[in-house]
Amino acid sequence: MPETVVDDLTPSPSRPQPSRRRALPTLVTLLVAAAIVGVLVKTLGDATLVFHEVDAAVELRSELGDGRFRVVGTPLPGLVETMVDGESAVVFTLCSSGTFADVVHVGDPAELLQPGVPVVLQGAWTVGSVPGIAGLVAPADDGWHLRTDHMVVKHDNDYRVEEGRQADIESCSATG
Amino acid sequence: MTETMATNGTTTGSRGSRVLGAATLLGLATLLLFAFGLTEADIRLHPTTGEEIGQFDAVRLLYLHVPLAVFTYVAFVLCAFASAGYLIRRTPWFDTMAHAAAEVGTVFCGLVLVTGSIWGRPVWNTWWEWGDVRLMTTLVLFLMFTGYLALRRATVDPRAAARRGAVVALVAVLDLPLVNRSVEWWENRTLHQKSTLGELKIQDLTLFTLMLGFLVFGLVLAWLLLHRFRVGWLEREDAEHGIAADIAERRAAIDEGDVDAAVGEGT
């Protein structure tokens, strides 16, 4: 039997073992790092994710061209349900800071699409008036409209509950 | 703390923690009663048409989502302080606390994302909105602390795990101000509204229920943190006890002249 050294019998700290047991957490760590990078790239790299106010979208109309962008504004009373190119659509007027834009939203609108509650729409400027314009209370009717297909609602931070309380709504006009 | 755990052997419970647990359960039941029963739905009238608008019953998720988000911040800030403490003092108490706070904070953060998503579906018309800065920064926060937990498991050396974890926690917590201030700094890149409490746009029973939510989720955090810390401490003691027992066993073998047994050969 070979001579054995027994001077230090204290168990040494465990050494990292290249085992499968440690491979999984390492893999998870790498996947998480990749996911973080992916999220950042997706978030920061997409210019369409900025919301333009209606007045800015109107001002930038020639610059935006037929490119897709997001616009935020408050729908005025008077939502007209109609059909456009064989698809269900809702037509309304969007406003912010006293500027109006007519909208044709193709597809299902948001469940809580309500006059006075701001929405964020994604779509592009299109030449021409909107169908069913006679049903709108205060249409922009400027020869352009927003053709959109993605709608989300941007609710406010007001949680005061009171029987019969009127909502605080940005006033775009007497109809607003 | 150490004394309490030592006297209890292998349990993480104590009289204090049981009282805290009972208070937490009672608080949760009371909160659910107020949130889903006694408070009013969000219904307002349009000033010109008189039409009912608002979030209706979906607003009730406010009482869960907001307190969870606030105590996610608390847990991760606690983790950062404990991580800094570990890097300065190198004591196991700080590391165990950092690990416990990160784990509980990650659970809270996951629940924030889930409750937010459930709330967003009826109110925003979407489960998830890529590009919303509040959502994205919160997701990054969740992923970073998930990575923290995975990283700690990626090595068997507890000191390396503690050191690496502490550094990652201190980097990850830098995302917290971005999460919190995103609605102010990038107002046109988020569906989230600005702070309600900051502008005092909440009152009466709604405000009371939200405050109750803060109290209850504070208790939930404290209870989970207490037990997770004690579990971590017991694991550490168990590992140290195992090493001490090995040393004693091998020394005894040497005393008996059994060198093979002492060095672990032939076993």
Does the pLDDT at position A147 exceed 90? yes
Q: Which residues of B touch A11 (CB under 8 A)?
A: 243, 246-247
- Is the reported ipTM for this assembly greater than 0.85? no
Contact assessment for residue A116 and residue A159, using Cβ atoms and an 8 Å cutoff: no
Whether B267 has its CB under 8 Å from any CB of chain A: the answer is no
Does the pLDDT at position B3 exceed 50? no
State mean pLDDT over A29-38.
81
Task: Answer yes or no: do A56 and A137 share one domain.
Answer: yes
- Residue with more model confidence, A25 or B112: B112
Shortest CA gap B255–chain A (Å): 12
Beta bridge mates, B26: none
Cross-chain residue pair A25–B189, CB shorter than 8 Å: no
Shortest CA gap B27–chain A (Å): 23
pLDDT tens track for B109-119: 999 999 999 99
Does the pLDDT at position A1 exceed 50? no
Does the pLDDT at position A98 exceed 50? yes
Least confident span in B11-15, B117-121, B160-164, B196-200: B196-200
Does the pLDDT at position A40 exceed 80? no
Mean of the per-residue pLDDT values for chain B?
A: 89
pLDDT at residue B88, as a whole number:
95
Q: How confident is the model at residue B165 (pLDDT cuts 50, 70, 90)?
A: very high
Q: Does any domain span residue A1?
A: no
Transcribe B71-98 into DSSP letters.
Answer: HHHHHHHHHHHHHHHHHHH--HHHHHHH
pLDDT at residue B245, as a whole number:
82
pLDDT at residue B52, as a whole number:
87
Instruction: Indicate which of A9, A26, A37, A111 best probes the interface with B, i.e. most B CBs within 10 Å of its own CB.
Output: A9
pLDDT at residue B263, as a whole number:
65
Most confidently modeled of A64-73, A147-156, B111-120, B171-180? B111-120
Task: Answer yes or no: do A33 and A107 share one domain.
Answer: no
CA distance B29 to B7: 32
Task: Answer yes or no: do A137 and A110 share one domain.
Answer: yes
Contact assessment for residue B126 and residue B100, using Cβ atoms and an 8 Å cutoff: no
Whether B255 has its CB under 8 Å from any CB of chain A: the answer is no
Of the candidates A66, A148, A149, A63, the residue with the CA atom closest to the CA atom of residue A101:
A148
**How crowded is residue A105: how many other Cβ atoms within 10 Å of its Cβ?**
27
What is chain B's length? 267
pLDDT at residue A28, as a whole number:
81
Task: Answer yes or no: do A112 and A136 share one domain.
Answer: yes
State mean pLDDT over B191-200.
83
Whether A138 has its CB under 8 Å from any CB of chain B: the answer is no
Contact assessment for residue A115 and residue B51, using Cβ atoms and an 8 Å cutoff: yes
Whether A15 has its CB under 8 Å from any CB of chain B: the answer is yes
Among A50, A113, A157, the residue with its CB nearest the CB of B193 is A157
For chain A, how many structural domains are there in total? 2
Contact assessment for residue B191 and residue A120, using Cβ atoms and an 8 Å cutoff: yes
Q: Does any domain span residue A159?
A: no
Q: Which residues of A touch B45 (CB under 8 A)?
A: 164-167
Shortest CA gap B12–chain A (Å): 27
Shortest CA gap B217–chain A (Å): 20
Does the pLDDT at position B83 exceed 90? yes
Whether A153 has its CB under 8 Å from any CB of chain B: the answer is yes
Q: Does any domain span residue A173?
A: no
Cross-chain residue pair A114–B45, CB shorter than 8 Å: no
What is chain A's length? 176
Shortest CA gap B260–chain A (Å): 9
Task: Answer yes or no: do A24 and A54 share one domain.
Answer: no
Chain B residues 115-174 within an 8 A CB cutoff of chain A: 122-126, 129-133, 136, 139-140, 143-144, 146-147, 150-157, 159-160
Q: Does any domain span residue A32?
A: yes
Task: Answer yes or no: do A93 and A34 share one domain.
Answer: no
pLDDT at residue A20, as a whole number:
58
Shortest CA gap B153–chain A (Å): 6
Whether A99 has its CB under 8 Å from any CB of chain B: the answer is no
Q: Domain range spanning residue A39?
A: 20-47
Task: Answer yes or no: do A59 and A132 share one domain.
Answer: yes
Cross-chain residue pair A160–B130, CB shorter than 8 Å: no
Tell if the pTM clears 0.80, that is, is over it.
yes
Instruction: Indicate which of A12, A17, A43 best probes the interface with B, i.e. most B CBs within 10 Å of its own CB.
Output: A43
Task: Answer yes or no: do A66 and A120 share one domain.
Answer: yes
Q: Which residues of B touch A117 (CB under 8 A)?
A: 53-54
Task: Answer yes or no: do A61 and A120 share one domain.
Answer: yes
- Residue with more model confidence, A129 or B112: B112
CATH number at residue A146: 2.40.50.140
Q: Does any domain span residue A106?
A: yes
Task: Answer yes or no: do A61 and A147 share one domain.
Answer: yes
Q: For chain A, what percent of residues have pLDDT higher than 90? A: 41
Does the pLDDT at position A3 exceed 60? no
CA distance B145 to B37: 35
Secondary structure of residue B123 in the 3-state scheme: helix
Task: Answer yes or no: do A74 and A124 share one domain.
Answer: yes
Shortest CA gap B120–chain A (Å): 9
Q: Does any domain span residue A77?
A: yes
Cross-chain residue pair A166–B129, CB shorter than 8 Å: no
Q: How confident is the model at residue A118 (pLDDT cuts 50, 70, 90)?
A: very high
Q: How confident is the model at residue B267 (pLDDT cuts 50, 70, 90)?
A: very low
pLDDT tens track for B219-231: 999 999 999 999 9
Q: Which residues of A touch B243 (CB under 8 A)?
A: 11
pLDDT at residue B202, as a whole number:
86
Whether B59 has its CB under 8 Å from any CB of chain A: the answer is yes
Q: Does any domain span residue A168?
A: no
Does the pLDDT at position B70 exceed 90? yes
Q: DSSP class of residue A151?
A: E
Task: Answer yes or no: do A68 and A138 share one domain.
Answer: yes
Q: How confident is the model at residue B248 (pLDDT cuts 50, 70, 90)?
A: confident
Does the pLDDT at position B31 exceed 90? yes
Q: Does any domain span residue A2?
A: no
How many interface pairs between A and B have CB atoms less than 8 angstroms apart? 176
Q: How confident is the model at residue B266 (pLDDT cuts 50, 70, 90)?
A: very low
pLDDT tens track for A70-85: 999 999 988 999 998 8
pLDDT at residue B39, as a whole number:
93
**How crowded is residue B205: how many other Cβ atoms within 10 Å of its Cβ?**
13
pLDDT at residue A62, as a whole number:
92
